[in-house]
Chains A and B, each alone.
Chain A
Amino acid sequence: MTRTASVTALLAALLVLLLPVSLLAGRVWLSPSEIIDGSQLASLIVSELRLPRAVLAVLVGGALGLSGAVLQGLTRNPLAEPGLLGVSMGASLGAVLAIYFGISTIATAAVPLFGLIGALAAMTLTFALGRGGGTLALILAGAAVSALASALISLALNLAPSPYAAYEIMTWLLGSLADRSWDHVALAGPFILMGCALLALTGRSLNALSLGEAQAASLGVDIPRLHLIALIGSAIAVGAATSVTGAVGFIGLIAPHLIRPFVGYEPRRILLPSALAGALLLLAADVATRLIRFGPEMKLGVFTSLIGIPFFFWLVVRLRKTSP
């Protein structure tokens, strides 16, 4: 078995081990016997609350990990991450508008639905702005779209109709998987899977791209098409992911870096392990937020940022050492 295959198998095994833990852990701890005995309350908690939550954690974490690996390969920049394209902020803006205008009180699915629309709108705007200018233009366009969405979110908070709405917007922005249902899975799942399928196609071309664009093109890689597939795949998967969880930072940045010491730097080999690592990280973070209690539940996005930032510092220090 190759090293990549063993690392992939190990990550998959860890994920399988962690899944039951995430079903049992929470404010109400369940024991496996309760579920096997068929206690109605227990099976309701598991099937309607914790299972969709765990499925979402795996989907969202996987999308972030995979997208981070693809974007780092595409830009050949170790600091690239899924938020780069503006879709995360776009999704946040959509969701915030749904809360702001009170649409969320009519139907709970309105928040992720608007999030998804926001993500797609942000993606379209990013592409329209950055079209034809290569990776750098797209990243700049993504930054501009992010800034616009962020300004509009601030405006929504500023003009919030009631303190309660402002509070709800803030809470949503912190990112969480609490109280997510199968509706959320049904809404975001297909988009996440579709985006990930596109991203999975890029491996071979990303490998060739490690020789630079001229050599990759000479090897038959269609560079504009590669950009399109990687960026649209990321936008769809990450946009859908953010629209159900809110902003969950750092997973997409960290996952590929955690994998590289074990499977090497070849972009294609990192993709699957990075997706699994992302899923594992997010699932673990979600379990952790349920277990760490200082009063109110700690939000998932806050937790991933808190564990992500020290890692970011480490990355900066390491880059400072390795670059001239």
Chain B
Amino acid sequence: MSTLATSALTVRRGGRAILSDVSFAAQSGEFIAVIGANGAGKSTLLAALAGLIAPDAGKITLDGVSVGYLPPRELARRRSYLPQNPRCEWPISVERLVALGLTPTLPVFGDLPSSYRTRIGDVLSACDLVPQREQPATTLSGGELARAMLARALVSDPAILIVDEPMTGLDPRHALDTVTRLRELARGGKLVLASVHDLTLAVRYATRLLALHEGRVAAHGTPRTVLTKELVRAIFAVEAEISGVDGGAFVDYLSPAG
């Protein structure tokens, strides 16, 4: 069991508060979708939760220990983080790209231990990447690259997975594949946190929603209770219709709110 929690988290950039007074806690087995308009602070929150941005006030704790006190390599073994639009800068093979996820457990010198090869093979087949195994990562399509990056994040078998906009730029099929995968991971006992723009996917697949508005928590709870017409109007400035019953929710945007 892992618990990732923030209390009164505040992050400032250039004098402006990007996040103010954010408090929540999340446990293994949850899939938390962070929603909010552009600039609401979703990416900053996820990067701070990953331990990559130090809070200006408040605390982020992993199992009660402040994330800033954990050695980077230990933190890296316990959580994986994928930024928005992750890229690979050199044309290395998908297999080697995925192997990079094992960096925190590898010694400074020497090649990959053979036990790791089976793990890489397993995660490649779990993410449907076996045919692309030897393909240079720079030649992958958007959907393939997203899968490869997810495989990279999963290969170290982290307890916590933090992903910034994993569905952006994916076609409906790949977006569904990704969000299903994230839900399965949560069902398998991982804690998954992802920022999601597609509210229909968020409300259908996540176990909890965390809505941010101008750096503050606007709402927080189970998807059906959080996602209301009023909330969508308040944080996205859009009139919306939310229909469907029992997890079959459907969000339709009608017009900009006046």
List the interface of chain A (C-beta within 8 A of B). 2, 76, 201, 203-204, 207-212, 214-215, 217-222, 264-267
B88 at the interface (CB under 8 A from A): yes
A-B contact pairs, 29 of them (CB 8 A): A76-B89, A203-B108, A203-B109, A204-B106, A207-B100, A208-B100, A208-B103, A210-B88, A210-B89, A210-B90, A210-B100, A211-B86, A212-B83, A212-B86, A214-B52, A214-B81, A214-B83, A215-B86, A218-B51, A218-B52, A218-B80, A218-B81, A218-B83, A219-B100, A221-B72, A264-B92, A264-B93, A265-B92, A266-B90
**Is the CB–CB distance between A215 and B82 below 8 Å?**
yes
> Given A208-B103, A220-B103, A264-B93, 15 more contacts at CB 8 Å?
A76-B89, A76-B90, A204-B103, A207-B103, A209-B89, A215-B83, A217-B52, A218-B52, A218-B81, A219-B101, A220-B71, A220-B72, A220-B75, A265-B90, A265-B92
Does chain A have a CB within 8 A of B76?
Answer: yes
B92 touches A221 (CB 8 A): no
Give the contact-size bracket for chain B: 35 or more
Determine if B242 is an interface residue (Cβ-Cβ < 8 Å).
no
Residues of A within 8 A of B97 (CB): 211
Q: Which residues in B have their C-beta under 8 angstroms from that of A203?
A: 108-109
Contact B100 A211 (CB under 8 A): yes
Q: Say whether B104 faces chain A, with CB atoms less than 8 Å apart.
A: yes
* Contact across chains for A211 and B111 when beta carbons are under 8 A apart: no
Instruction: List the count of A-B residue pairs having beta carbons below 8 Å apart.
Output: 75
Q: Does B12 contact A (CB under 8 A)?
A: no
Closest to B51 in A: A218
Question: Do B90 and A215 have beta carbons less than 8 Å apart?
Answer: no
Chain B residues, CB < 8 A from A212: 83, 86-87, 89
Given A204-B106, A211-B152: A218 and B50 within 8 A (CB)?
yes
Chain A residue numbers with a CB within 8 Å of B75 are 220
List, in ascending order, chain A residues with CB within 8 A of B108's CB.
201, 203-204
Complex A-B, nearest 3 residue pairs according to Cβ-Cβ distance, in ascending order:
A220-B76, A218-B81, A220-B73
The reply on B248 being an interface residue by CB < 8 A is no
Closest A residue to B84 using CB positions:
A214
Tell whether B142 is near chain A: CB-to-CB under 8 Å.
Answer: no
> What residues of A have a CB within 8 angstroms of the CB of B89 in the complex?
76, 209-212
Whether B103 lies near A219 (C-beta < 8 A) is yes
| A222 CB contacts on chain B under 8 angstroms | 72
Closest to A265 in B: B90
Tell me, in angstroms, the Cα distance from A211 to B94 when the chains sit together.
12
Report the nearest A residue to B138, measured CB to CB.
A265
Question: In chain A, what residue has the closest Cβ to B91?
Answer: A265
Contact A214 B47 (CB under 8 A): yes
B96 at the A interface (CB under 8 A) = yes
Residues of A within 8 A of B82 (CB): 215
Minimum C-beta distance from B138 to chain A (A): 9
Query: What residues of chain B lie closer than 8 Å to A219, measured between beta carbons?
Result: 76, 100-101, 103-104
CA distance A203 to B111 in the complex (A): 11
